[in-house]
Structure 1
Amino acid sequence: MLEGVPLRKIIHVDMDAFYASVEQMDDPELKGKPIAVGGGEKRGVVSAASYEARKFGVRSAMPGFKAKRNCPDLIFVRPRFDRYKEISQQIRKIFYDYTDLVEPLSLDEAYLDVTENKKGNPSASLIATEIRQRILDEVGLTASAGISINKFIAKVASDYNKPNGQKTVPPEEVLDFLEQLEIRKFYGVGKVTADKMYRLGIFTGKDLKSKSKEFLQENFGKSGPFYFNVVRGIHLSEVKPHRIAKSVGAERTFRENLTSELFMLEKLEHIAEELHKRLTRYSISGKTVTLKIKYSDFTTQTRSKTLDYYISDKSLLLEMAKELLYQEKPKDSVRLLGISLANLNTEEEKEKPEQKTVSVQLKFDF
C-alpha cells in the first residue's frame, strides 16, 4: 500500500535505437544490418548502435575500433543531428496532442503526465499504445513506453519490453515490481554503484529495501535517501514542461591527437566561438567555466573555475579556458577538447501549469 504517496499517470516514451533507426529508415540498404552511428572505427566513438549491432556487444560511447573488433561487419554512419532533431520534433507534436505536460530528456525520450489529458482518456496504458502506434504510422519508427505512478518507475518500465513494447506498473503492483527488480535495472544505478551494492549484499530491490536510510546515506552519500525512497515507490519529481538548462557547452574531437599546447589553444578558440554563438542565441551567460580534456587513452579530465560575475563573451570564455589549460600540463596527447558554462543566469523555476495529484483512495485506471 502506497500510503500518502501522490499518484500520477506518467508515461515515459523511449525511441528504439533512435539514431540508428533513423538511418535505417532513410537508407533501406541499411535495414537489418549492424550499424553504428559515429565517427568511424579509427578515431570515432559510437553514438548509437542498431539492435543488430548490439547483439555483438556494440554500445554507445564505445571506441570505434573496439566496436569493429566486436562486429567485423559493422557499418559506420556519420551522424546527422539536424535530421534527428527534425524527426524528434515530429514525435513531440504527437505528444502535445495528448498533454501539454511533456518533459523531453533528449531527442529520443520524454516524460508525459496524462493524469488529466486532452483526449479525456482515463487509461494511461491505452494512451501510450495509441502514441506508439501513431509514431509508427506517421513517422515510421518504433518506440517503447513505461507507464506508472511516477517518473522513476515509468523510466524503469520503458526498458522492460524493449524494443517496440510497453509495460504498465499500476499502483497495486508498484512495491512488488520494485522488490523483484534487479538492482542494476534501477534508473540511476550505474555499473560502479551496482558493483558497490553487490559487495554490500544488495542484488534486488528487496535487498535495497532492507537497508536503513542511515546505512544507505553512509555508503552512498546524497544518493542514499534517493535509493531509500524510490524502492518504496516514492519519487515526487513532477513532469516539468520547461526544463531549465544547467549548463551549455561545445566540444570537438580531432582527427589526430594534439600533442602541443599551441595547437590546443588554436582549437579552443574555435570551440569558444561556437559556445559564444550558442549562448548568444538564447541570451544565456554563466559564472562557472569548465574545460574538458579527453586523452588518447580515452580517460577524461575536467577543470573548472567559478567567477563572481556572469560571462558569455568569446574572449572571456577563451581566457578562462586558457587559464584552466595552463593550470596543469596535459598528461598525454589529447583527442577531444570542450568548454562548458554553468551557474547560468536562467531562472531555477519558471512558471508552470499546476499539476494535480490523485489520492490513493481513488480508483486509478491505468
Structure 2
Amino acid sequence: MTKATFPTARPATRDFVFASRRPAIAVLAVVVALVIGWIPSDCSAQTTGMVEFFSAGKQHQGMALVELAHEMIVLGRDGSIHSVDPRKGNNVRRIRDAYEPMPVTELRNQLRAEYGPEYEVTSTKNFLVVQPKGRGDRWPQLFEQSHRSFTAYMTKRGVNVREGRFPMVAVVFPDQQAMYREFRKLKIDVSRVAGVYSNESNRVLTHDGGHLSLIAATVRHEAAHQSAFNSGVHSRVTDTPKWITEGIGQMFESPAMTSRQSGSRASNRANTDSINLIRSTLSDRNEVHFYKAVVQLIGDDMLFDSDKTVDKAYAVSWAMMFYLAERQPREFAKWMNHTAKRPAFRNYEKADRIRDFEQIVGLNPLDFSKRVQWFIESL
C-alpha cells in the first residue's frame, strides 16, 4: 500500500483527531497498525507462539505481525501495537505460549499500575474506563452507551458487526494539561484538541476539564472510530476511504445518536455543525461546489489533506454517510460490508472506488450529490 489509510488530524479549531503516535513510520508499519482487533476467532490455534519484549522500560508479550531486519511490529495482548528493534539481542525473546488477548482482570490491574493511585478503573460490559477518582459513572456510561448505540444503529441497517477481541480502553484525564502530558509521552503530535482515538494504543484519550457538551461530542466521535475498528465495521487490514470513516465519526457526534431520540426523526440525529457549514458555503446556489466535493471524496482523500478544505471534507462526508444510512439503508449496509471485506493491504485506487460506489449505491456521483443535497435541505 502506498499511503496510510488513517484519517488525518482535524484542524485545531475542530477539536477532533484520529491520531497515530508515529505518523512518519514506514508505510508497512502504519498498515500493520490496522490489524488491531482483526484477530480471527481461532487465532490461538493459528499462531505457534509469542514474543516477549521490552518497550518503554516494561516487559510485554505479543504476536509478531511483521519481522524486518531492523524492526519487528508486535501486536500486544492488550491490542496495542509496538515497534521493537530485534537487533538488540536482549530486547526480544520467543516463547512457546499461544497468543491470547489479555483477560479483563489482568488488563484492569495493568491500567491501575500504569496510571497510579489518583485514578480509578471502572468497568462496563465493553469498556475499561480510567478516570480520576470520584468522577462517578458519567464517563463510563457515555462510552458504553455510545458503543451500544453504534452497534444497534449499524445492526439495524444490516451492517456486519462482531464482538471485539480486546477490551476497549478509554482514559479520561482531569484536565487538558494532563491529557497533553500523556500526548507528549506517547509522541502524539496534535494541538488544541478535546480528545483522540490513538490507533497504536487502541485507546480513546480525553479530559474532564472543558465544556461538557464539547467533550461529550468528542467522546462520541472518537468512540465511534474505536467501536467501528473493534467490531469489524471498518477493517484494520484494508484501505477504507476517509469519507466513510470520518462520515461515521461525524454521524455519532449528535447526542441524539446515543439517546432514545435516535429512534425518532432524522432531523434530531443530524450533525448541526455540518449542516450549517454546508448551507453557508455549499448551498443550493453553489450546487456545483457540493457536487465537486462529493465526486472528489468518492475518488480520493485529498480534501482531508489541506487546512483550507478539511472542514468541508468532514461536513460533506457526514452528509453522504447520513443520507445513505437514513434513506438508502440497504445500500449503506452493502457499501460498509464491501469496504470491510476488501483484499488486505491493497490500495483502493480512484477508478475502483468510483466503480464500486456506482455499482453498490446504484447512482452516479451527480445524481447521488443531488439526492444528498435535497435531503440535507429537508432537515
Which of the five TM-score ranges fits, normalised by the shorter chain? under 0.3
The structure with the largest strand share of the pair is: 1
Larger Rg: 1
The structure with the largest helix share of the pair is: 2
**What TM-score do you get using the length of structure 1 for normalisation?**
0.25
